[in-house]
């Protein structure tokens, strides 16, 4: 069966509104003969005369009257579908966004982001989900609207990214730790007992790679899967936690932070989203909110004091947590 010509809906809508082949033709920029042919096609398609002569004019049949409101609604819906999206009204926007983030992101940037979103769009709800792996599947299947993390390799072509900020690793100990007295040298740092952060349970990572050229290695006695856990252990013991400065700024309060006495690794934290949401006005607004908050809130989060003159930092394109 041949598919109907949906363009006839527009023609029928105008004919039923005007009740005149001539006036309908003028509105549609068609000649009277072209409009007559269109009316003939409509009659064949519907099996009804639709418009019949009454004196010098045309009147709609009962079938035409039955169709008039339905046709008007269909044409309006079609025009709405094919029209560019309306201007985003944040004051009336109601939507829930899922943000998948790595350890420490919510603690550091969540309060400011929630406040900004609540001020601009009170009807928007943010749902933060802990990122437990590097798979971008949740972005692809709709499980997450946005994701933050360190991009190790080029992402799939359907995943878009933009940098948020650069983070560097620093050392953190409890306020009464022996390392607080005197200069923290490479030898003193390496000889201390360390807690290492690794989602996969590894005992070495970026810090050990950066330390290796000095000829020394850390004594890792404990492995945890997140920065918050590492800092909790360091705060309650003589363990040294080596963590990203900006991610952990809030969690390090009350502790002693210091620059690493060797080339400290740096990581670029990025924002990721699926290409299907790239043009969505509400999603674009939320991305802007995250960018503004991160760039405003990620100012200098240095340690308590500078231990001498450490070597230049080194940026690595890899994940902050192995």
pLDDT tens-digit map of 239-272? 999 999 998 998 999 999 999 999 998 989 999 9
Q: What is the DSSP string of 249-272?
A: TTTTTTSEEE--SS--EEEEEEEE
Classify residue 1: in a domain, yes or no.
no
Residue 186 and residue 148 share a domain: yes
Specify if 112 maps to a domain. yes
66 with 145, same domain: the answer is: no
Look at residues 81, 96, 128 and tell me which one is the last residue of a structural domain: 81
Query: Is residue 61 a part of any domain in this protein?
Result: yes
pLDDT of residue 2: 63
Q: Do residues 136 and 236 share a domain? A: yes
pLDDT at 320: 56
Average pLDDT over residues 302-320: 41
On whether residue 107 sits in a domain, the answer given is yes
10 Å CB burial of residue 245 (0-12, 13-18, 19+) is buried
Residue 183 confidence (pLDDT) above 60: yes
Same domain, 70 and 106: no
Q: Quick one: 277 and 228 in the same domain?
A: yes
**At CA 315, angle to CA 165 and CA 307, rounded to 5?**
90
Q: Are residues 77 and 95 in the same domain?
A: no
160: number of Cβ within 10 Å: 17
Beta bridge partners of residue 162, listed in sequence order: 271
3-class secondary-structure state, position 138: helix
Q: What's the pLDDT tens digit per position in 271-280? A: 999 999 998 9
- Helix 21-28 to helix 32-46 angle (10° resolution) is 110
DSSP helix/strand/coil, 219: strand
Residue among 303, 319, 203, 307 at smallest CA distance from 253: 303
Residue 2 belongs to a domain: no
Does the structure show a pLDDT above 60 at 166? yes
* Domain termination site, one of 81, 112, 139: 81
Q: Which residues pair with 159 in a beta bridge?
A: 274
Q: Of 32, 52, 81, which residue constitutes the final position of a domain?
A: 81
In a domain, 253, yes or no: yes
Which CATH number does the domain housing residue 65 bear?
Answer: 1.10.10.10
**Per-residue pLDDT tens for 198-247?**
988 898 999 999 999 999 999 999 999 889 999 999 999 999 999 999 98
Mean pLDDT of 52-75: 88
51 and 151: one domain? no
CATH of the domain at 223: 3.40.190.290
CA angle 200, 201, 203 (to 5 degrees): 125
The verdict on 76 and 106 lying in the same domain is no
* Whether residue 117 is found in the same domain as residue 264: yes
| 199 plus 99 within the same structural domain | yes
Instruction: Answer yes or no: is 283 within a domain.
Output: yes
Using only C-alpha atoms, the chain has a radius of gyration, in whole angstroms, of: 32
Same domain, 98 and 52: no
CA–centroid distance for 239 within its chain:
36
Q: Are residues 139 and 66 in the same domain?
A: no
**301 alpha-carbon distance from chain centroid:** 24
pLDDT at 299: 57
pLDDT tens-digit readout, 282-309: 999 999 999 999 988 765 555 654 333 3
Residues 6+ apart with CB under 8 A from 42: 8, 11, 12, 15, 50
Q: Are 314 and 265 in contact (CB under 8 A)?
A: yes
Say if 176 falls within a structural domain: yes
User: What domain range includes position 17?
Assistant: 7-81
For residue 133, what pLDDT is reported?
74
Alpha helices in 121-254 (DSSP H): 137-141, 186-191, 206-211, 227-235
The encoded tokens of residue 97 equal 């966004």
How many domains is the chain built from? Answer: 2
């Amino acid at each position: 069966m041949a598919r109907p010509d949906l363009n006839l809906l527009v023609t029928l809508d105008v004919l039923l509104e005007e009740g005149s082949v001539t006036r309908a033709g003028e509105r549609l920029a068609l000649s009277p003969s072209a409009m007559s042919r269109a009316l003939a096609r409509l009659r064949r398609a519907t099996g009804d005369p639709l418009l019949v002569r009454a004196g010098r004019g045309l009147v709609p049949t009962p079938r035409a009257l039955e169709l008039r409101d339905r046709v008007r609604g269909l044409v309006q819906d079609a025009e709405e579908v094919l029209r560019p999206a309306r201007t985003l009204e944040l004051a009336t926007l109601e939507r829930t966004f899922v943000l998948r983030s790595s350890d420490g992101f919510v603690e550091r940037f969540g309060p400011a982001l929630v406040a900004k979103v609540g001020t601009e769009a009170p009807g928007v709800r943010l749902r933060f989900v802990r990122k437990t792996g590097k798979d971008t599947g949740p972005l692809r299947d709709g499980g997450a609207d946005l994701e933050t993390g360190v991009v190790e390799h080029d992402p799939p072509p359907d995943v878009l990214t933009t940098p948020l900020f650069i983070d560097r690793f620093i050392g953190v100990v409890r306020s009464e730790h022996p390392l607080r007295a005197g200069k923290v040298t490479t030898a003193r740092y390496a000889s201390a007992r360390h807690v290492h952060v690794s989602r996969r349970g590894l005992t070495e990572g970026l810090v050990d790679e950066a330390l290796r050229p000095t000829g020394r290695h850390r004594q890792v006695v404990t492995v945890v899967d997140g920065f918050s856990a590492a800092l909790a252990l360091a705060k309650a013991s003589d363990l040294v936690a080596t963590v990203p400065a900006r991610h952990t700024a809030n969690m390090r309060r009350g502790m002693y932070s210091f620059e690493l006495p060797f080339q400290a690794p740096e990581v670029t934290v990025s924002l990721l989203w699926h290409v299907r949401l790239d043009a969505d006005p509400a999603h674009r607004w939320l991305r802007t909110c995250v960018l503004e908050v991160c760039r405003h809130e990620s100012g200098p989060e240095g340690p308590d004091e500078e231990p001498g003159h450490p070597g230049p930092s080194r940026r690595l394109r890899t994940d902050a947590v192995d």
